[in-house]
Structure 1
């Protein structure tokens, strides 16, 4: 069970020394190269730790996915990475408001973003695959080793080290981070039992497409010919969001609806235009036009898998931690799932730096203590926003239209995970040691 040494430690060390960072000697194995895993790897490298990322996908594909949102709290992490702001800005959504309508097209309210962005900082909303590709390439440029096509079949640990078996190879480090999503295999080591996902009761139809045909249709052209726009239609237990991006050249729409199918059916499959329109019967003709103009290969039916809050994110010997969706899956209506995954990585890197190689178990316990209550509170916002939109009293909205607006709260968006971890770590570690 030798530690990984095939170029990883040396390449990380050389990158750190070039940046004036003293190597910590801490070896971090990260399972999963999503936003949680990549952020953890980049932030750990910034702090002098050596990182190996194991990803099951055999290739990266910038065309996969649709729109993803990063709030100001995670965008300030992006802005610490050289060159990332300059690469993200041209491909991200720039509308200044969200227009709300009833399901049949009547205007309800317009929520403007200007003051909020000035107060909390920049946001990045764009194509998931394109943003991921930029962050993936940045991680590699910083000396992070990423192995694709990896199948992790086992997690193990003792008081002194932790590791995984991947493609039949035993790989050992000081810490393992399970960043492999809602069906993470690391959860069994952490919890001591197999924790099954459950249906959330909802599913999402989602699509990303060219705006060319939309610009020619009288029902939809105003959504794209004036640059970036953002519009939401609300109805009984359904909400439909549409956004144009890249100065109106590309378009994304998503709608959340009731779905009680068994979770074992899988959570993502090709969508069916006729089924989507059936669910939207009686809705604004513009909504139906968007769906009908979506190429079948661009439509995805995504089942929202959910899990009850975990009692812990760290293993019994505190050598393995769950991060991102593996620890705390979010409903999309929180608009914070990716942001909280990034906060995890930033916080963990600081905790490992302050604890040092001989006390990485303290680092993982402190990470959980710092993050747990904040994450749980933000998880709940996904449920409250969904219910606010899906169970709206439309008669009351005519008298009080602001009741429908998306909450933009300072405690969520004005948070800096890195500086917060530095600030509270000494007090947290003292309390953990009793």
Structure 2
């Protein structure tokens, strides 16, 4: 893990969203599923997952859901249930209500908030299974009031059609009962366009590999999506009061995700930087996913030396990291200076996995510097808003001439006349018609 001065480090990280070949492959898959429906879905499932299915076999049965409980430890069921309760409690505080405001002139203005009708949740499978991602996608949608939540997840490869039982138990605990064994770009296309078996959705959310990300980008506009997520990121700003072992472990907690994950330490102390550097190497040797983490640390990890904690926060605001840990004396004193971070973890005991699994805030967080303008997934991602206008006669007679004036200054005579005809009908002329 290299140590560099801040002026030597490029704070911009540009991530390419797939090669030309990957983009073309995704466009072909999406187009085929759109045109052929189930036939293309089954063909690609056999091609990429080695699983041959009939259309009726796409949907996971209630018997499979119940059987999954016998394949996991009771302690896992207790843990996932406790995490779900925390996540639900946090997101319940985000709920919005419709509102209306009656004006003195009898007009009524307001906003009507409704949940999306149907949401599709993509849950990765294959090399790694993430039951926690089931909760983080499903629970905010449920709190928002979404009546139909459907989940897709890849079948086991090598001819087996089973799904990781931990994912199924997490889905059952979250209250999801419509689940399909299909993954990749073909699953995204099926959610967007629908097939005979899978009804289309209004929004697709959830992480996946590069083909899933590219497919989500391809169908955006037909449906909404949560984001196009990049590799995981963590940035830690720490001073001499921090424990190097804690900081090293937190950096590696993200580095083990992916070879392209980013783990960065920012510190004003060169002695602490060297201590963390040594601790990262020591812990790497004992980490089961050491090869992945080592590649991440080598290619996208760094220790950045700064002059002060305040200067370090300036670096963090430019990085706009997905996860940001502030492990310094009196971290609350600096909270107001932090402008750009997806999730902020304060103090030595707020380790990033606390947020990933249990505390309650959502772990689906903006990456690639997009925390400058976007936010973690929350209840707002699963609602839509309609403006409400009930204008009274009194209000129109009072304000109509102003509306006509604005319309004519934009050259939209039809707009102006739509108001003016009402004013004339009520015996009150509008502004002079400059176009006549």
**Does the TM-score normalized on the shorter chain lie above 0.5?**
no
What's the TM-score once normalised by structure 1's chain length?
Answer: 0.31
More strand by percentage: 1
More helix by percentage: 2
- Structure with the greater alpha carbon radius of gyration: 2
